[in-house]
């Protein structure tokens, strides 16, 4: 069932409920039910069994009502997925007082990454609109507040947030792809060890000197297993530093143009 939009606001039924703009049904067999309980059950199913296990009928079974009763609270699966994402990302941690811009953006990106790492299915849901749900808007608000004195215009501020959040999502997407690739057996470290050894043998003919140099300089650590928890791996750190360097370069360029 497609997501129903309310003519008064243009928002879906579930998003209206999330913003407190719509009263829940007050009678019928689902009287003890609300949107929060439905979404929590759906998130639990996705966390345990993956996103494909989530359906309106499955969630209805989890909360003990009929599927038709569920439609009195949420207009369809598309609506449910948006609300699941909002619940999964949660609200951003409070920002420290007098936080420096770069440190704040790094904290923001790491907190966002940690929130999504707790629910890897999040990135399996296609982006259907700009941020509209309450928690997504709260993350946007905190990010914009960090850029308030940057000298960037509105479009540039939004571009910074899109770039940082896009980087976080891409890292999580890679992790989800890796998990699927290794689900049949073994670990990603096993896959990497086989890959690097095979690549070393395939490129030992002088045709790929830059790659041979990398393999020679890296040595055995290319095969080492990583014990870093999500959000603290070296690749993420390097990529985030590059993103933040770019933001600071943009801010400096704008300041130079004004001065």
* pLDDT by 10s per residue, the chain, length 259: 445 555 466 777 767 877 877 665 555 555 678 888 999 999 999 999 999 999 999 999 999 999 998 888 888 898 899 899 999 999 999 999 889 999 999 999 999 999 999 999 999 998 877 888 899 999 999 999 999 999 999 999 999 999 999 999 999 888 778 777 776 666 767 777 778 888 888 888 888 999 888 888 876 556 554 444 444 577 889 999 999 999 999 999 999 998 7
Question: What is the domain range of residue 246?
Answer: 101-187+225-258
Q: Are residues 151 and 44 in the same domain?
A: no
- Max distance between CA atoms of the chain, in angstroms, equals 76
∠ CA 237-241-245, rounded to 5°: 175
Structural domain tally of the chain? 2
Q: Are residues 150 and 231 in the same domain?
A: yes
Q: Are residues 107 and 74 in the same domain?
A: no
- Residues 105 and 259: their CA atoms lie apart, in Å, by 25
**Do 246 and 112 contact (CB within 8 A), yes or no?**
no
Helical pair 154-181 and 134-146, crossing angle rounded to 10 deg: 120
- Residues 226 and 233: their CA atoms lie apart, in Å, by 8
Helical pair 35-49 and 56-63, crossing angle rounded to 10 deg: 110
Is 168 a domain residue?
yes
Is 213 a domain residue?
no
In sequence order, the β-bridge partners of residue 30 are: none
Question: What are the backbone angles phi and psi of residue 12, rounded to the nearest 5°?
Answer: -70, 165
pTM of the entire structure?
0.83
Label residue 78 exposed, middle or buried (CB < 10 Å: 0-12, 13-18, 19+): middle
Q: Are residues 34 and 156 in the same domain?
A: no
- Residues 69 and 63: their CA atoms lie apart, in Å, by 11
∠ CA 62-34-20, rounded to 5°: 145
**Do 73 and 33 contact (CB within 8 A), yes or no?**
yes
Q: Are residues 84 and 124 in the same domain?
A: no
Q: Are residues 180 and 238 in the same domain?
A: yes
Q: Are residues 43 and 113 in the same domain?
A: no
Q: Are residues 64 and 177 in the same domain?
A: no
- Pick the last residue of a domain from 89, 112, 139: 89
Label residues 195-208 b or e (16+ Cβ within 10 Å = b): eeeebeeebeeeee
């Amino acid at each position: 069932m497609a997501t129903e939009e309310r003519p008064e606001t243009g928002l879906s039924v579930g998003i209206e409920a999330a913003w407190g703009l719509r009263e829940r049904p007050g009678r019928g067999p689902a009287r003890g039910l609300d949107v929060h309980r439905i979404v929590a059950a759906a998130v639990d199913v996705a966390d345990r069994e993956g996103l494909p296990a989530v359906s309106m009928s499955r969630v209805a079974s989890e909360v003990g009502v009929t599927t038709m009763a569920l439609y009195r609270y949420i207009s369809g699966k598309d609506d449910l997925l948006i609300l699941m994402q909002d619940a999964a990302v949660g609200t951003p941690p409070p920002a420290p007082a007098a936080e420096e811009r770069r440190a704040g953006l790094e904290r923001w990106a790491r907190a966002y990454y940690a929130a999504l790492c707790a629910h890897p299915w999040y990135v399996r849901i296609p982006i259907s609109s700009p941020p509209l749900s309450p928690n997504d808007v709260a993350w946007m608000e905190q990010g914009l507040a960090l850029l308030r004195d940057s000298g960037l215009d509105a479009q540039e501020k939004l571009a910074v947030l899109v770039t940082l959040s896009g980087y976080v999502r891409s890292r999580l997407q890679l992790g989800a792809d890796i998990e699927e690739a290794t689900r049949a057996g073994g670990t990603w470290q096993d896959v990497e060890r086989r890959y690097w050894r095979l690549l070393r043998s395939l490129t030992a003919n002088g045709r790929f000197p830059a790659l041979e140099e990398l393999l020679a300089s890296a040595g055995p650590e290319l095969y080492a297993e990583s014990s870093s928890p999500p959000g603290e791996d070296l690749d993420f750190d390097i990529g985030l530093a590059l993103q933040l360097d770019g933001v600071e370069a943009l801010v400096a360029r704008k300041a130079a143009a004004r001065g």
